[in-house]
Each structure stands twice: as structure tokens, then as C-alpha cells.
Chains A and B, each alone.
Chain A
Amino acid sequence: MENKLFFGIIFLILVLPLVSADAIEPGYHGIRINNQITNINDFPNYVFVSYSTLGGMPRSIDIIGKDGKLKAYYKFDLVSVYAIPKSEFNESYINYLNSNVTANGDLFKIYFNSPQIKKVIANVVSYTTVSYIDPTTEISDSYTIDLNKILTKPTKEETNKNLIYVYILIPIIVLVIIIFIIIKRRK
């Protein structure tokens, strides 16, 4: 019985960590990053779209609303934002491209290589990992775009953080209680 328990524990130590192929590093957790274009309404003659790819393959084109908020993407997606003149914008064509991303892979590339379409943001990050102890609960990145520039970093980053002191205070309180229990027992 003891031998079985011993080999069982050794098996768990050796094999189970290998199972977590897509797992987050131990002690870390994922946080979504909210992305927003702050001055989208300064360009009434343009439609803004976010274009996501995964491993070089197109995933989707999403129209950005008047609030300038980008949708939340999968953590490994590579996302860029493009400005399309309203005169060139054709929503039904975008829907057609999105309808079969695998077959329309080349059409996506041709579409975004058009000289009328301007890339305004590259490498939008939608996801990051932070340590469990990291008090960050939310990250909001905002972009102030310029049609003649490609932003690669947010113009402003805001983080909401929880208080860290609980991680120190709780163990101290618990230690006091444990010492109290030990002293009480000895009396």
C-alpha cells in the first residue's frame, strides 16, 4: 500500500506538470486589457476597424463603434487598427471576408494593402498575465490616433490596483493567533 502511494506521488510529480500545455505560469493569472481610441470622433470621414490575425492567418475584421472601444481578443491574437475612408468602406464586403476567413486569407491581405486604407495602430495587446499577488485588477489602454502615424504603444495606460497590505497583515494576525493557541495549551 505504502509503495503504491509512493509511486503514485512520484507519478503525479513527474507527469501532471507536463499536461498543462496552455496553462498560465503558476502563481500568475490573466488580465484583459481594455483598449479604446479616445479621439475616434475627430475623424468623421473614416471608419475604423480592428483586424486580428493568429500565426499570420486572418481571424476577423471588426468595426469599431463611436465609443472607440476595441473588442476583447484571444490572448495570442495580433491586432491592428485601420482607418478606412467612408467612401471606400463596404460593410457587406467585410462581412463576406469574415464569413470564411480561411478561404479569404489572400483577400484580407489585398484589402489592407490598399493605398486608401491607413494603419493607425499596430500590436494592440488585449491580454497580459500578472502574479496573483500583483494588485492590478484592470488595465485600460487608450490611444490618441493620428492618421499620419502608426502607434505601437498606448498613449495612456491606466491600471486599477487593489491594496497589497492584506498579504502582510493576514499572516501576521494568523501568527499571533497560532502563538496564542500554543501559549494557551502550555498553561
Chain B
Amino acid sequence: MNGFLYLIFGFLTTLITELIVYFMFIKGKKLNIFLYCLLINSFTWPLANLIYAYINLFLLIELGVFLIELILIKILFSVGWKKAILISLVANILTTTLSFII
């Protein structure tokens, strides 16, 4: 698999994993949930990888992603802070764990 396919695979794995979590916790139009999930991940995923290429602090970057995503979840899905924290926490624990395995 070449580098470009790895990138696509990495992004899609993250997107699908987080989308499953969003569907579990958020009620509403599936298309909206998908679009917001796509927006959130299109913002955090490239930035996280870009930063990681220069700063080798994986967990710190993941913490940053968790914080940014919880704010975006709160704003885009209009949910409470507690729910936003829970969704972001579960989604990022799963994607972080997957990044260790894959």
C-alpha cells in the first residue's frame, strides 16, 4: 500500500470509528451527523498528523484533538458539555487504540 492509500485508509478508519460513536450518542438526522463528523475530522485529523510529523508527542496531540473535538461537538451538535466530553472521549480512545493496532 503506498503512502497516499495509507493516508486515505487512516482517515477513513478514524472517520468511520468516530461516526459509529456519534451515531451511538447523538440523535438526529443521520446525514447531518455524518456531515458534522466529516467536518470535525477533516479539521483535526490533518492538523494532528501535521503536528505529529514535527513534534513526537503522541498523547499530548491526542489530548489536543480530544479538546478541540469536544468543543466542535458541543457547538455543531448543540449538546451539553458532559455529553460532548463523553462522545469526544470515547471516540478518541477508540481511534487512539486503533492507531496502535493498525
Spell out A's residues near B (CB within 8 Å): 9, 12-13, 16-17, 19-20, 23, 26-27, 29, 31, 130-138, 162, 166-168, 170-171, 174-175, 177-178, 181-182
Min CB distance, B94 to chain A, in Å?
A: 8
- Given A16-B100, A171-B42, A174-B43, A29 and B93 contact (CB-CB distance below 8 Å): no
A58–B97 Cα distance when bound, in Å, is 36
Instruction: Please name the residue on chain B nearest to A177 by beta carbon.
Output: B39
> What 0/1 readout, one digit per residue, does chain B (34-70) give for beta carbons within 8 Å of chain A?
0000010011101101101100001000000000000
A136–B3 Cα distance when bound, in Å, is 7
| Interface residue B89 (Cβ < 8 Å from any Cβ of A) | yes
Q: Of the candidates A9, A16, A166, A178, which one forms a contact with B72 in the assembled complex, judged by CB atoms under 8 Å apart?
A: A178
| Interface residue B31 (Cβ < 8 Å from any Cβ of A) | no
| Interface residue B7 (Cβ < 8 Å from any Cβ of A) | yes
Query: Is the CB–CB distance between A27 and B58 below 8 Å?
Result: yes
Beyond known contacts A20-B101, A132-B53, A175-B43: 4 more, CB 8 A cutoff: A17-B100, A134-B3, A138-B2, A178-B76
* Interface SS majority for chain B: helix
Q: Please give, as numbers and ranges, the residues of chain B lying within 8 Å of A170 by CB-CB distance.
A: 42-43, 46
Min CB distance, A75 to chain B, in Å?
A: 14
Instruction: Please name the residue on chain B nearest to A32 by beta carbon.
Output: B2
Q: Please give, as numbers and ranges, the residues of chain A lying within 8 Å of B72 by CB-CB distance.
A: 178
Min CB distance, B84 to chain A, in Å?
A: 15
Query: Is the CB–CB distance between A167 and B49 below 8 Å?
Result: yes
A100–B56 Cα distance when bound, in Å, is 43
| Interface residue B75 (Cβ < 8 Å from any Cβ of A) | yes
The 10 nearest A-B residue pairs measured at CB: A133-B53, A137-B3, A167-B46, A174-B43, A29-B6, A133-B49, A131-B53, A26-B99, A27-B52, A167-B50
Query: Is the CB–CB distance between A135 and B101 below 8 Å?
Result: no
Q: Please give, as numbers and ranges, the residues of chain B lying within 8 Å of A167 by CB-CB distance.
A: 46-47, 49-50
User: Which of A20, A174, A181 counts the most chain B CB atoms within 10 A?
Assistant: A174
A56–B56 Cα distance when bound, in Å, is 32
Query: Is the CB–CB distance between B39 and A135 below 8 Å?
Result: no
Query: Is the CB–CB distance between A133 and B101 below 8 Å?
Result: no
A135–B53 Cα distance when bound, in Å, is 10
Min CB distance, A153 to chain B, in Å?
A: 23
Q: Of the candidates B49, B93, B100, which one forms a contact with A23 in the assembled complex, judged by CB atoms under 8 Å apart?
A: B100
Query: Is the CB–CB distance between B76 and A181 below 8 Å?
Result: yes
Query: Is the CB–CB distance between A13 and B93 below 8 Å?
Result: yes
Instruction: Please name the residue on chain B nearest to A130 by beta carbon.
Output: B3
Query: Is the CB–CB distance between A132 and B49 below 8 Å?
Result: yes
Query: Is the CB–CB distance between A26 and B100 below 8 Å?
Result: yes
